Amino acid sequence: MTRFVPITESDTPDLGERPSKTALKRQAHEQQALGEALAALPDARLTALAMPEALRDALLEYQRTRSHEGRRRQRQHIGKLMRQADLAPLQEAVAEAQLGRAHDALALHRAEHWRVELVASDEALTRWLAEHPATDAQQLRTLIRNARKDTALAPEQRHGRAWRELFQFLKPMLVTSDE
């Protein structure tokens, strides 16, 4: 029966500054993943990024490719082209796009929370007006009153037009307050 003996640094020959094959593969996979994330960005954002023209063309071609094998080959080609590109601004653009979606989702959750609170109590209206003084108070009161009428209806008729209108009124104020 053979026994596993861990290899220590003194057991391995000195390879110098050359990275291992595993490290090179990991780097290639990371570049391909970054390429996929870049390809998921809208065309307008892609064209605005500073990158080699060949890489931009390869990313646009990846978006048009539909077959699995074609996309796999194009991913590898993008990874190869990314070796010559400056990755920092590309990674920053992807992170910014992902963070933007998270901010939008958070704003929608906050709008939903405020809508529920505003319909539930008059005290929430006072807090809203204190936090958002530019709000048209009369229109907000009307929307809240109509949403309360909607919630008093039968369960299958709840959350009608007034409920949605209140959400649409709150949402832009919360999205702009994030920026």
pLDDT tens, position by position, 53-63: 888 888 888 88
pLDDT digit string (tens) for the chain, length 179 residues: 444 444 455 545 555 688 899 988 888 888 888 888 888 888 878 888 888 888 888 888 888 889 999 998 988 888 888 888 888 888 888 888 777 677 778 888 888 888 889 888 889 888 988 888 888 889 999 998 988 887 777 666 656 788 888 888 988 887 765 44
What is the rounded CA–CA span in Å between residue 143 and residue 111?
A: 14
- Helices H / strands E in the chain, number of each: 8, 0
Residue 82 near residue 39, CB atoms below 8 Å:
no
What is the rounded CA–CA span in Å between residue 131 and residue 134?
A: 9
Dig out the tokens for 147 from the structure. Answer: 């949403």
Indicate the helix (H) or strand (E) that contains 101.
helix 87-120
Whole-model pTM: value is: 0.49
7 φ/ψ sector (left φ>0, alpha ψ -120 to 50, else beta): beta
What is the rounded CA–CA span in Å between residue 85 and residue 159?
A: 51
